[in-house]
Structure 1
Amino acid sequence: MTTLPRGEAADVHGVVRRRRAVAVAGAVSAGLLLLSACDKPSPRATVTVGKNSVSAEAACYDDGKDIGQEEATKCAQKKGGDTIEVPQSETLRIGVDPEIADTGWALWINGQQVTSVYKKTYYSFQGVDLFADQQGQAAPKTLNISVVQQNKAAQSSKYEGVWNFRLENGDA
């Protein structure tokens, strides 16, 4: 049996409160540590053909900072990420996060810019025959397309991100 000096009761509640406070402080610290280790996800771009769509995070992105035209071109020449089948003359739809649209974006095919800069979150390319025969060459079976976030201001060009996709000829 435990004996306490006369008139004093065991302070069980105080011990429990201290343990809870230490546990809560530990949990909060661990949560903050985990949050500080997480990177903010890059904006997303989506390609849709018919009822099928693929979405991707950036292949190259530095949280809105300029990665430069040379790096953007290298990135756009990498193999595309997710693949989507595109039948001849089907509408190709591209959607981007508002963060990309605010800066502006262009469509690149196999590392070459093929459109002007858009400032919309959605654009559709209707009846585009991406896989047409080119000057005596057979139609390609696949194409790499890129959504390139770029700001073409009057005094400077800024390239902020690249999202890659792979298109497969649906009629091959």
Structure 2
Amino acid sequence: MTTLPRGTAARSDRAVRRRRAVVVAGAVSAGLLVLSACDKPTAMSTITVGSDSVASEATCGGEGKALKASDLTSCLEDKDIKEISVDPDETVRFGVDPDLADKGWTILMNGQPLTDSSTKTYRTIPGSVFFNAQYGAQGNSTLVSVKQGENEATGLWSFRLKKDA
């Protein structure tokens, strides 16, 4: 005979509940482990011209560590850069995530500073500036970058502006 109280031999609810709890705890732990292995995306930078816009994560850096000058140079030579067409009569709008703006950012044109450092999340520049030889433009295409950091560069977001004639 069994030593279980009357009617409990047929019920195994406790064992089933325990197994479910263990399975759920294991699934949650595995999910947290997978999420902790993912890289956190870098802040975004966006350029808008008229109703067109293009956004990008950092071309280089963006994780808060200072970049070496050689890294910056190679980033500026990168060929896989997002492009946008610009009518010289349009206004070019630059927008950055608040995390990027908090550390200060500068707009570079062909690697040279075009603006002073700012902690705002939004700036505008006339489109004609990007194709004016007085500002260092050459031809119908200009490399424009957003550099994070006031003294040391910690991130670089690059875009190619193509003249829309």
What residue in structure 2 maps to residue 42 of structure 1? 42
Q: Is residue 5 of structure 1 aligned with residue 2 of structure 2?
A: yes
The one-letter code sitting in structure 1 at the alignment partner of 2:140 is: K
* Contact preservation (8 Å) 1:45, 1:147: yes
Q: Deviations over 1:76-124 (max 9, x none)?
A: 3323622111012211110011111111111112222222212211000
Unaligned runs of 5+ in 2: none
Identity of aligned residues (%): 45
For the residues of structure 1 that align with 2:40 and 2:73, how far apart are their CA atoms?
24
After superposition, the C-alpha distances for 1:106-151 in whole angstroms (9 at most, x for unaligned) are 111222222221221100002534224x49xx96232221101122
Partner of 1:168: 162
Amino acid of the residue matched to residue 87 of structure 2?
P
Tell me the amino acid that sits aligned with residue 63 of structure 1.
E
- Deviation at residue 29 of structure 1 after TM alignment: 1.2
What are the residue-to-residue correspondences of 1:92-171 with 2, within 5 Å?
A: 92-132=92-132, 134=133, 140-151=139-150, 157-171=151-165
- How many residue pairs align between the two structures? 160
Report the RMSD for the aligned CA atoms in angstroms: 2.2
CA separation in 2, counterparts of 1:59 and 1:124? 21
Write the distance in 2 (CA, Å) between the matches of 1:146 and 1:80: 13
Please state whether the residue corresponding to 2:153 is helix, strand or coil.
strand
Give the TM-score normalised by structure 1.
0.82
- Unaligned stretches of 5+ in structure 1? 152-156
CA contact (8 A) 1:89 1:127 kept: yes
What TM-score does the superposition give when structure 2 sets the normalisation length? 0.85
The structure that is helix-richer by fraction is: 2
